Amino acid sequence: MFLESDGTVIDDSEYPKVFFLMHKWIMESEYLSNMLYDLFKHYGDDYKKAINENEKHQYKESQLRVCQAYR
């Protein structure tokens, strides 16, 4: 599972595998790792600010997607 820039989920795609195998062509692994960490942290901060349960659920789902991409 992977996300496009507009948040659309790409299922059963080879894109995530290819991206993580070839990311070194466009960026350092440390930079990619920091980007994913910052994204995870950002969703956590937004979760704390969320008012309703639907928003909180969306932020937790987003954090889960970042974790899935990270591993």
Flag whether the pTM goes above 0.85.
no
**36 belongs to a structural domain:** yes
Which letter does DSSP use for residue 24 in this model?
Answer: G
Which letter does DSSP use for residue 6 in this model?
Answer: T
pLDDT for res 36: 85
**Tokens 């990311």 -> residue:** 23
**40 belongs to a structural domain:** yes
Quote the number of domains for the chain.
Answer: 1
**54 belongs to a structural domain:** yes
**22 belongs to a structural domain:** no
Does 12 or 29 have the greater pLDDT score? 29
**11 belongs to a structural domain:** no
The kind and range of the H/E element at 9 are strand 9-10
Highest mean pLDDT: which of 21-25, 38-42, 63-67? 38-42
Read off the pLDDT of residues 29-54 as tens digits, 9 standing for 90 and up: 888 888 889 999 999 999 999 989 99
pLDDT tier, 15 (very low <50, low <70, confident <90, very high otherwise): low
